Amino acid sequence: MKYIQQALEKYWGYNDFLPFQKEAMGSLHRGRDCIVVLPTGGGKSLCYQAPAMATAGMAVVVSPLISLMKDQVDALVECGVDAMRLDSSMSGSEQADVIDSIRQGTVKLLYLSPERLLTDGMMNLLQNTKLAYFAIDEAHCVSMWGHDFRPEYRKLGRLREIFPKVTIAAYTATATKQVRDDIARQLSLNDPAVLVGSFDRPNLSYKVQPKKNIVTQVCSVLDRYKGESGIIYCIRRKDVNELCHDLQERGYKVAPYHAGMNAEARKRNQDRFINDEVDTIVATIAFGMGIDKSNVRTVIHTGMPKSLENYQQESGRAGRDRLEAECCMFYSGADYGIWKFLMRDMPAEAYGVAMNKLNGIYAFCTGTACRHEAILRYFGQTLGKDNCAACDICLGEVDSVEDALIIAQKILSCVVRLEQRFGSGYSALVLAGSKDKRILENGHDKLSTYALLKDFSKSIIQSWIEQLVGQGYLEKYGEYNQLAVTEKGRGVLKGQTTPRLMKPAEKKSTRVSKPTAESWEGVNAGLFEELRAFRRQEAHERGVPPYIVFGDATLRNLARQRPSMPKGLTSVKGIGTQKRQQYGRAVLTIIGKYCEKHHLKMDVSDELVPTDFSTQRQSRPSRSDAKERAFELFTQGRPIREIAATINRAESTTVQYLVEFIRAEGISDPSAWIDQQTAEKIQRAIRNVGSKQLKLIFEHLNGAVDYNTIRITLACLRNP
Ligand code: ADP
């Protein structure tokens, strides 16, 4: 492992491992087959790249797409690693050069497609070459149970017969146990070490909101990421074209991508996006395969995808560099209708599966559970904490409705009165007391449930109806998505269960706006922009994407640590020997000049630098001016939201500080932050369910009191 660690430092400029990397690399190094399942951004590629630098022979990496191979080889060459690829896009003489290098034994990592690997010529060549191991990337393609089965991957089973002594390792981001077992079987792996990490992506924050004015909603997200990269997914090509046009008119740098465009135009737009020439790509799901752009800061869905797997995969293209990124979905009941319509001709069994998945994601959208937890549960894992601090629900951006039972009963009664023959739009109008012609003609203004929710807008009522569908109290049936009350819904009418209803998000997003993001802490934004311009220019000259020259994390580290001497560059994560030699001098000059001009302190210690967001959230370094300032403001009795804005932190972080403050000061009376009635409610709940699990208290209160309020009250109660 010592040699691997040295290689990690020398070539990649990293001084520690991400979770499971050490085990995965160790397994390869010791010659044990393995299956590594880590989420996107989990650091899989390094698991098979770094050991190659500490193992005799050439490692062969199998990858399904030329674009992925090219990206990885470009990045490795930038780090000074002898990596090459062989694929059909290369000229005859380029390919001959690579074969020569293999014969001479100067290649450490060779990237190939499965088709190429299994040709007789390549087999011959490899049998006469000293091999370190085979690494099969995107290994779920081996399995018919996976989401991207490729017949040519299946043939990789022959590797074991032909190279019985060479270690084989498989890597994937998406694998159920069934797929994992299938991978092991198909590749004839020998007692493989199976390493499965958490699927959680803690650097992604999820926001899910009902669709209202989609252009305005999209713009409000893009405005938080000016000049940075984003992907917007639309369900249909038509939506791509329209939204693209609207955004261009408003001055956003966007480009379209969908299967209806010719290949050349698609490629051009993809390249402009990858090279940071346009900020945002507006696309159908045709976009994304083979895109490894690491610095995508936001993925926006303008409609609900057809399953949670699709959502996880598409939204997962954000934040591959492990820095914070935001995934926003705007959904509507109409999206549900579109998918249902598109699925109508499926064979019965497939239709059943697809509808289950559709209902699953709809429940996710309209649900009130932590988004991270909901996604993990879908994949059979759990988060293991009750507040992820990175979704609209846990950040308290969505308020629960206090009298959810009564509202739900009114809605369900109305559906019954309408004889379960109408859809959500019409039912909402009746409940809102609309004078719509159809309602008057049908005499529905005479119903006892007419105008029962007249104090609310139609869109809020409709959103509640969709939430009740998502939670299984109502169901949609028939061609027009008419509503019917389910068995579970009857329980609500009898007052036996209370649904959770959310007020549609009116609150402003508190998290991940640039200055609040924790990974921006200490980063000088002006210097970051100068370094970014340098990166763009270098990338352009070298014909590689900017993120391959330096990742965003490395640029932020530079703009935070601001080294003055070559030695200082060694402690900046992501700069190995080759990059130091290549760009060091230019980078130091830019930093030196900028700091002199702006009187900035240089050589800031990296001890307080948050470099890995996933570990940082659990154990943050000792904190900072922000907490001090928060304590001061707590003493002055300022409101939490105002304090959060002043110290540039999310409300949830501010509440954490407040809990510490309460503890430190021994405060036992929560009245400065919580009204007496609510505090009493919480105390009653605690008497019933104890104080060990916040979730139990939250649920006992039917979600009517948010986690932050419960936390603050508990902190006070714990003081004598
Ligand atoms: P995956 O292949 O699982 O999607 P990558 O290999 O692309 O993930 O790695 C994701 C990000 O994490 C990249 O920006 C990579 O440079 C970074 N990374 C990988 N290993 C480490 C490490 N040991 N320390 C710091 N950053 C790392």
How does pLDDT run across 344-365, given as a tens digit for each residue?
898 988 888 888 889 889 889 9
Q: For residues 709 and 409, what is the distance between their CA atoms, to the nearest angstrom? A: 27
Mean pLDDT, range 412-434, rounded to an integer? 95
**pLDDT tens string 186-230:** 999 999 999 999 889 999 999 999 898 999 999 999 998 988 999
Return the residue matching tokens 């407040």: 658
What band does 517 get if pLDDT is binned at 50, 70 and 90? low
**For 398, which DSSP code?**
S
Instruction: Please tell me the number of Cα atoms within 13 Å of 473 on its side-chain side.
Output: 32
Residue 437 pLDDT > 90, yes or no?
Answer: yes
Given 397, 420, 439, the domain boundary residue is 397
Decide whether any atom of ligand 1 lies within 6 Å of the 172 Cβ. Answer: no
pLDDT tier, 366 (very low <50, low <70, confident <90, very high otherwise)? confident
136-186 pLDDT, tens digit each:
999 999 987 766 788 889 899 999 999 999 999 999 987 678 888 999 999
Output the pLDDT for position 667. 86
Residue 508: DSSP 8-state: P
pLDDT band at 518 (very low <50, low <70, confident <90, very high): low
Do 162 and 138 fall within a single domain?
A: yes
My answer on whether 245 and 322 are in the same domain is: yes
Nearest CA to ligand 1 atom 10: 41
pLDDT per residue as tens digits for the range 84-141: 999 988 999 999 999 999 999 999 999 999 999 999 999 999 999 999 999 999 999 9
State pLDDT tens for residues 314-352.
999 999 998 999 999 999 988 998 999 999 898 988 888
Regarding whether 67 and 185 lie in a shared domain, the answer is: yes
Same domain, 529 and 388: no
**What does the mean pLDDT of the chain come to?**
88
What element of type H or E holds 167? strand 167-172
In the chain, the number of structural domains is 4
Which has the closest alpha carbon to 36: 149, 189, 154? 189
Q: What average pLDDT does this structure show over 519-530?
A: 84
State whether 374 and 444 are in the same domain: no
Looking from the CA of residue 44, the nearest atom of ligand 1 is: 3
What is the structure's pLDDT at 177?
82
Task: Please indicate, yes or no, if residue 513 is contained in any of the structural domains.
Answer: no
Report the atom number in ligand 1 closest to the C-alpha of 8: 23
pLDDT above 90 as % of the chain: 57
322 lines ligand 1 (CB under 6 A): yes
Q: Is 293 in the pocket of ligand 1 (CB under 6 A)?
A: no
Least confident of 183-192, 272-281, 376-385, 589-598: 376-385
236 and 363 in a single domain? The answer is: yes
Ligand 1 atom 27, closest CA: 43
Ligand 1 mutation pick, 5, 293, 320, 613, max ligand atoms within 8 A of CB:
320
The model's pLDDT over 66-75, given as tens digits with 9 standing for 90+, comes to 988 999 999 9
Does any domain span residue 562?
Answer: yes
The answer to whether residue 692 sits within a structural domain is no
pLDDT of residue 175: 63
Domain at 464, CATH number: 1.10.10.10
- Residue 616 is assigned to a structural domain of this protein: no
Which residues span the domain enclosing 535? Answer: 520-603
Q: Is residue 670 part of a domain?
A: no
Q: Report the nearest-CA residue for atom 5 of ligand 1.
A: 43
Claim to verify: residue 151 and residue 28 sit in the same structural domain:
yes
The whole-number pLDDT of residue 516 equals 42
Domain-ending residue, one of 397, 413, 447? 397
Q: Does residue 391 fall inside a structural domain?
A: yes
DSSP string, 243-309: HHHHHHHTT--EEEE-TTS-HHHHHHHHHHHHTTSSSEEEE-TTS-TT---TTEEEEEESS--SSHH
Residue 693 pLDDT grade (very low, low, confident, very high; cuts 50, 70, 90): confident
User: Mean pLDDT across the stretch 663-670?
Assistant: 84
Contact between 564 and 592 under an 8 Å Cβ cutoff? The reply is: yes
> For 12-21, 260-269, 457-466, 641-650, which range has the lowest pLDDT when averaged over its residues?
641-650
Residue 513's pLDDT band (cuts 50, 70, 90): very low
Ligand 1: which residue has its CA nearest to atom 9? 43
Is residue 60 within 8 Å of residue 135, measured between CB atoms? yes
**Does residue 179 share a domain with residue 134?**
yes
Q: Give 40 Cα–ligand 1 centroid separation in angstroms.
A: 9
Check pocket membership of 69 for ligand 1, CB cut-off 6 A: no
Q: Is 14 in the pocket of ligand 1 (CB under 6 A)?
A: yes
**414 lies in the same domain as 372:** no
Task: Tell me what the mean pLDDT of segment 505-526 comes to.
Answer: 58
Cβ-based neighbours of 623, under 8 Å, separated by 6 or more: none
Indicate whether 299 and 434 sit together in one domain.
no
Stretch (H or E) spanning 104: helix 92-104
Residue 647 lies in a domain: no
pLDDT of 538 > 50? The answer is yes
Which letter, b or e, does each residue of 374-409 get, where b requires 16 or more Cβ atoms within 10 Å of its Cβ?
Answer: bbbebbeeebeebbbbbbbbbbbbbbbbeebbebbb
Ligand 1 closest atom vs CA 551:
14
Asked if 413 and 364 sit in the same domain, the reply is no
| CATH number of the domain that residue 282 is part of | 3.40.50.300
What percentage of the chain carries pLDDT values higher than 70?
A: 94
pLDDT tens, position by position, 34-56: 999 998 889 999 999 999 999 99
pTM: 0.73
Residue range 670-688, pLDDT digits in tens? 888 898 889 999 989 988 8
The confidence score (pLDDT) of residue 599 equals 87
Please work out whether the CB of residue 18 comes within 6 Å of at least one atom of ligand 1: yes
- 335/379 same-domain check: yes
Q: What is the CATH number of the domain that holds 587?
A: 1.10.150.80
Angle between helices 237-249 and 214-222 (to 10 degrees): 60
pLDDT tens readout for residues 586-634: 999 999 999 999 888 899 876 544 444 443 333 222 345 677 888 888 8
Output the pLDDT for position 283: 96
Q: Which of 295-304, 462-471, 567-576 has the highest mean pLDDT?
A: 295-304
Ligand 1: which atom is nearest the Cα of residue 573?
Answer: 25
Q: Ligand 1 pocket, 294 CB below 6 A?
A: yes
Domain boundary (582, 603, 624) is at: 603
Using DSSP bridges, classify how beta strands 482-485 and 474-477 pair: parallel, antiparallel or unpaired: antiparallel
What is the rounded CA–CA span in Å between residue 555 and residue 669?
Answer: 46
The answer to whether residue 503 is domain-embedded is: no
Predicted local distance difference test score (pLDDT) of residue 624: 55
Minimum-distance ligand 1 atom for the alpha carbon of 321: 14
